[in-house]
Amino acid sequence: MPSTEPRGPRQILRALVWSAKGLRAAWSHEASFRLEGYLLVLLFPLGLWLGDGAVEKAVLCGSLILVLSAELLNSAIEAVVDKVSPEFHELAGRAKDMGSAAVFLLMLNVMLCWGLVLWQHFH
């Protein structure tokens, strides 16, 4: 059912609060998210420095943000699956594996983006 509540600054603020809660929960409970967060803190400034122009900077930094986004979605999938189906089920395992595969593919994307940009600069 669509929301009849008007969109405005209050709803934007609520969304920001919920997003912050989600980021805090991921940081507190997900070791993979923390590791990827540390990599973002290290590599994001490096991407801004190494990128030659806006497009390269966006590719280097954006690829890192995509990994964290996928990790959040993967963690959400795992939490819901564990809540709904605490015992093992093939479909639950498949859902978790697919979420993990999405993170893995975006990590490959980071390596590809960074590798191509660095190759172009140092070759």
> What residues contact residue 85 under an 8 Å CB cut-off, 6+ apart?
91, 92
Q: Name the residues annotated as catalytic.
A: 71
Residue 118 lies in a domain: yes
Q: Is 36 annotated as a binding residue?
A: no
Q: Return the closest-CA partner of residue 51 out of 2, 123, 121.
A: 121
Q: Is 24 annotated as a binding residue?
A: yes
pTM of the complete model beyond 0.75: yes
Residue 10 dihedral angles phi and psi, to the nearest 5° = -65, -45
The whole-number pLDDT of residue 1 equals 56
Q: Is 90 annotated as a binding residue?
A: no
Number of domains comprising the chain? 1
| Residue with the two structure tokens 């930094």 | 61
pLDDT in tens, 33-49: 999 999 999 999 999 99
Residue 57 lies in a domain: yes
Whichever domain contains 52, its CATH number is 1.10.287.3610
Residues in the chain where the model's pLDDT stays below 70: 1-5
The separation between CA 95 and the C-alpha centre of its own chain, rounded to angstroms, equals 17
| Domain interval for residue 98 | 9-122
